[in-house]
Amino acid sequence: MFSIILAAAMMAAQPVAEPPVSDPSVKPQYPTLPVITDNEHLYETFGGKDGLTALMDDAMNRWLANPRTRPFFEHADQARIKELLVKQFCVVMHGPCTYDGRTMAEAHRGMNISEGSFYALVEELQVAMNKRHIPFNAQNRLIAGLAPMHRDIINNK
């Protein structure tokens, strides 16, 4: 299932203006801000900024409860991450936002996040989307936009 979404994402995603990388040794392999171009109403389907903020509150609680993701988030600045995720998802969905966080390669460098932790994070996000009754095809579009970022996130030493 995930690999189908991943393949679709490689075709659908297009780069937009990326945040600068502060360390020149960081070489992103995938745009941090892919833009999903085949559904102009995705942002509205997710309830706009308020909907995304509520979604991220729920998702972060789930990441903190899941043993595969908790170690990464428990000592991190959760409020800042949630705020940046709202902005990032908004841009990915063609919403009226600007993302001013780091690239995915830069933000996750040195964490050595495993594939299992990455999938656990995505699965908890899916549970949170289900709770908010986000339609399945809208969920898939978002996941498709995010999935290729795994190259910059997993095993990033």
Q: Would you count residue 156 as binding ligand HEM (CB under 6 A)?
A: no
Taking the C-alpha atoms of residue 84 and residue 27, their distance in angstroms, rounded to an integer, is: 21
Footprint of ligand HEM on 56-85 (CB under 6 A): 69, 72-73, 76-77, 81, 84-85
25 CB-near residues (< 8 Å, 6+ apart): none
Binding mask 19-58 for ligand HEM (x = CB under 6 A): ----------------------------------------
Cα gap 83→157, rounded to integer Å? 25
Cα 150 to Cα 28, 145, 157: the distances in Å are 11, 11, 13
Question: Binder to ligand HEM among 59, 60, 88, 141 (CB under 6 A)?
Answer: 88
| Three-state DSSP state, 102 | coil
Select 54 or 64, whichever has its Cβ closest to ligand HEM. 64
- Two tokens, residue 125: 């996000």
Kindly list the residues in this chain that would bind ligand HEM in the complex (CB under 6 A): 69, 72-73, 76-77, 81, 84-85, 88, 101-102, 107-108, 113, 117-118, 121, 146, 149, 153
